[in-house]
């Protein structure tokens, strides 16, 4: 069995590793120091179980879990935390298994025995109740069984088609695009402080807006950094765009 230990503190990882080795020497152990590394490891190694710390720099455990759940066959997750009021409340209300550090060997053994997979509903509720992350730091897409992470701060805009949501983002100074599963509506709610809805089908990063132009046919078009064509602003959202441009 392959187990991934995720914790930002080397001592905490060390201890978990030695406890796991005592429980069963056949465990194959891999480690990660934060949420981003955890996802990379899951992509590369496909572990069966992930022991996930909550409070980590870069990307915390709850967000990493959220991205992992996007996989068709996600690993089972066991959370661990030293003390985190909000997370503990969330776990208890969702009856999700979690370990308190310092972790007892017997308790770890029990958690490994009956570790079950989280369902998406539970996870959503955990995210809602955890007040420490108001929104994700990354958006994820599943590509050929592995997770592609897109940092929110690299994103230019989200565009909706009939069925799909596309995200346009910078990668090595070039704007590329990927299809994601989130809906424009949920993204708008989650990132309301950094993104602005300009049309039924477009959500734009506020600081990417360059200028508002009036076309000859009366349509309002927004020039966006990194895009060589303008995006149409619907009449309903025009006043919000104007307000933003005025305040900037």
Partner 1 sequence: MPTEQLKQDNNEQESLFLPNFCSFKVVFAVLIMGELLAFILTLAPLNVEQQRWNDLALISLFIQWNGLMCSSSLCFLRARTKKYSNKTVAFISYFSLLFMIILLSEFTFYVMIENKITDLISDVSHWEFLFHNVSIGAIISALALRYFYIQHQWRLKIQAENSAKLKLLQARIRPHFLFNSMNSIASLTRTKPEVAERITEDLAELFRMLIREDNELISWAREKELSQRYIDIEKQRLGERLSVQWQVDDIPDDAMVPALLIQPLLENAIFHGIEPEIKGGEIKVTGTLTHNQLIIVLQNTSSTNTAHRKGNKMALDNINKRLYAHFHGQALIACQEKDDVYCVTLSLPYQKKSAL
CB atoms under 10 Å from CB of 49, counted, come to 19
* Rounded Cα distance, 175 and 177, in Å: 7
Q: What is the DSSP letter of 227?
A: -
Closest to partner 1 by CB, 101 vs 223, is: 101
- For residue 232, state whether it binds partner 1 (rule: CB under 8 A): no
Closest separation in Å from C-beta 143 to partner 1: 24
Asked if residue 102 has a cis previous peptide bond (ω within 30° of 0), the answer is yes
Task: Please identify which residue in 1, 44, 89, 235 interacts with partner 1, judged by CB under 8 A.
Answer: 89
Give, in degrees to the nearest 5, the angle at Cα 192 between 191 and 194.
70
* Rounded Cα distance, 192 and 52, in Å: 29
- For residue 34, state whether it binds partner 1 (rule: CB under 8 A): yes
Site stretch for partner 1 (CB under 8 A), options 8-16, 62-70, 219-227, 236-244: 8-16
Closest separation in Å from C-beta 84 to partner 1: 7
How big is the site for partner 1, counted in residues (CB under 8 A)?
A: 25
Task: Please identify which residue in 102, 163, 172, 247 interacts with partner 1, judged by CB under 8 A.
Answer: 102
- For residue 207, state whether it binds partner 1 (rule: CB under 8 A): no
Token couple for 150:
């897109």
Name the residue among 103, 44, 45 with its Cα closest to residue 78. 103
User: Do residues 56 and 84 touch, judged by C-beta distance below 8 A?
Assistant: no
- For residue 140, state whether it binds partner 1 (rule: CB under 8 A): no
- For residue 213, state whether it binds partner 1 (rule: CB under 8 A): no
- For residue 218, state whether it binds partner 1 (rule: CB under 8 A): no
User: Do residues 178 and 168 touch, judged by C-beta distance below 8 A?
Assistant: no
Site stretch for partner 1 (CB under 8 A), options 39-47, 77-85, 190-198, 223-231: 77-85
Closest separation in Å from C-beta 129 to partner 1: 9
Name the residue among 179, 189, 213, 183 with its Cα closest to residue 201. 183
Interface with partner 1 (CB under 8 A): 8-12, 14-15, 18, 33-34, 55, 57-58, 82-84, 89, 93, 100-102, 131-134
């Amino acid at each position: 069995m392959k187990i991934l230990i995720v914790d930002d503190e080397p001592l905490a990882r060390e201890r978990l590793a030695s406890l796991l080795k005592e429980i069963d020497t056949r465990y194959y152990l891999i480690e990660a120091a934060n949420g981003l590394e955890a996802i990379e490891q899951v992509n590369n190694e496909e572990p069966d179980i992930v022991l996930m710390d909550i409070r980590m720099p870069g990307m915390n455990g709850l967000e990493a879990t959220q991205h992992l759940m996007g996989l068709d066959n996600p690993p089972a997750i066991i959370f661990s935390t030293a003390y985190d009021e909000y997370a503990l409340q969330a776990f208890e209300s969702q009856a999700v298994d979690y370990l308190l550090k310092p972790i007892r060997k017997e308790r770890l053994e029990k958690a490994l025995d009956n570790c079950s997979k989280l369902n998406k509903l539970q996870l959503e509720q955990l995210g809602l109740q955890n007040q420490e992350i108001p929104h994700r730091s990354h958006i994820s897409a599943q590509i050929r069984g592995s997770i592609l992470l897109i940092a929110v701060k690299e994103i230019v805009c989200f565009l909706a088609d009939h069925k799909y949501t596309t995200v346009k983002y910078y990668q090595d100074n070039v704007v590329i695009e990927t299809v994601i599963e989130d809906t424009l509506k949920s993204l708008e709610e989650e990132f309301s402080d950094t993104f602005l809805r300009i049309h039924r089908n477009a959500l734009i990063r506020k600081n990417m807006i360059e200028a508002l132009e009036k076309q000859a046919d009366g349509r309002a078009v927004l020039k966006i950094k990194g895009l060589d064509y303008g995006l149409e602003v619907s009449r309903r959202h025009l006043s919000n765009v104007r307000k933003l441009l005025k305040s900037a």
